Amino acid sequence: MNLNLAVLIDGDNIPSAHVKEMMEEIAKYGNPTIKRIYGDWTKPHLAKWKNLLLENAITPIQQYAYTVGKNATDSAMIIDAMDILYNGKVNGFCLVSSDSDFTRLATRLREAGMQVIGIGEKKTPNPFIVACDKFIYIEILKNQTEKKNDSNIDSIKTNVDKITPKEINLITTTISDLSDEEGWAFLGDVGSLLQKKRPNFDSRNYGFEKLTPLIKSIGVFELERRENPKSKHKLIFVKNKEKRIQKSKK
């Protein structure tokens, strides 16, 4: 199903540097029919956004800060999101913020059957991340830009996370959840379930464009390509390698 997405951006909480890459990423998941950014445009710190809004056809929504130290953007975004929800013109939302205040909004939208994609920095609190169907780190988009512009791959590798035993265990248990009697699971299903279990799981966090090379690099899984009767592209299945139990010498 092709999603019609409402893209709502917290201008007070998101850097403007990679908005082009962000919009390209959003386009992978659906058609952004509504694009709005919220903030107090009388403030100088939002000046960097202004040219980018025209280039990306994003509508600025003025929201004055009524009280010093309080972010009035949150309530304006939430009210608009609910109005859009009840208008019935979209079937998905993209909430761009690193603010945990949008956790309840994401939960409410999903309760209404909406697909919710979150985009924010790695400092985003976990409650907001897990309230979304999928959560994408802005740092990933930054790394992708660096790959295009920088031939020094080593400098990019320092910006990605390392695969820890926690991630390996997550993949292992997910394969077991989906495996047949011989232990094989379709990799597409594995990827979907990983996303449901952990919305911010993304191969790009670890320096891999796709799940297949990530799993291959770990070295504890078997991969098998099978013929696809419906397409020329082969199906990829994955299996946990059996642990060899060494008998102690007596």
Sign, CA dihedral 16-18-24-26, equals negative
Cα–Cα distance for residue pair 65/52, rounded to 1 Å: 22
Average pLDDT of the segment spanning 92-108: 95
Interstrand relation of 235-240 and 30-39 (parallel, antiparallel or unpaired): unpaired
Is the distance from CB of 194 to CB of 174 less than 8 angstroms? yes
CA angle 208, 55, 106 (to 5 degrees): 60
**pLDDT score at 245:** 43
As a whole number, mean pLDDT of residues 224-245 equals 84
* Nearest by Cα to 145 from 158, 137, 156: 156
Predicted pLDDT of residue 154: 53
Mean pLDDT for the stretch of residues 219-227: 93
Closest CA to 11 of 60, 51, 79: 60
| Beta-bridge partners for 92 | 5, 115
Q: Provide the pLDDT confidence category of residue 246 given band limits of 50, 70 and 90.
A: very low
Query: In this predicted structure, what is the pLDDT of residue 71?
Result: 58
pLDDT at 63: 80
- On the question of pLDDT at 109 being above 60, the answer is yes
Supply the pLDDT for residue 244.
Answer: 44
- Contact at 8 Å (CB) between 76 and 38? yes
CA atoms of 55 and 48, how far apart (whole Å): 12
For 67, which DSSP code? Answer: S
Residue range 2-21, pLDDT digits in tens: 789 999 999 888 888 888 88
Q: What percent of the chain has pLDDT over 70?
A: 86
Q: Which domains does the chain have, with CATH numbers?
A: 3-153 (3.40.50.1010), 165-240 (3.30.420.610)
Residues 114-168 pLDDT 10s: 999 999 999 999 999 999 999 999 998 876 656 655 555 554 455 577 889 999 9
Average pLDDT value over all residues in the chain: 86
| More confident call, 41 vs 24 | 24
Statement: residue 69 has pLDDT above 50: no
Which of the pair, 86 or 71, is modelled with greater confidence? Answer: 86
Question: Per the structure block, which two tokens stand in for 146?
Answer: 């660096």
With 0-12 / 13-18 / 19 or more C-beta atoms within 10 angstroms meaning exposed / middle / buried, residue 102 is buried
State residue 232's pLDDT score. Answer: 83
Dihedrals phi, psi of 71, to nearest 5 degrees? -95, 105
Cβ neighbours for 105, distance < 8 A, ≥ 6 positions apart: 77, 78, 81, 95
**Joined tokens for residue 179:** 């495996």
Q: Rounded to whole angstroms, how far apart are CA atoms 73 and 43?
A: 13
Q: Report d(CA 34, CA 22) in Å as an integer.
A: 15
Looking at residue 108, its pLDDT comes to 97
Per-residue pLDDT at 37 exceeds 60: yes
pLDDT of residue 247: 44
Question: Is 63:91 a contact under the CB 8 Å cutoff?
Answer: no
Structure tokens at 186: 């379709």
* pLDDT digit string, tens, across residues 56-65: 889 999 887 6
Give the three-class secondary structure for 120: strand
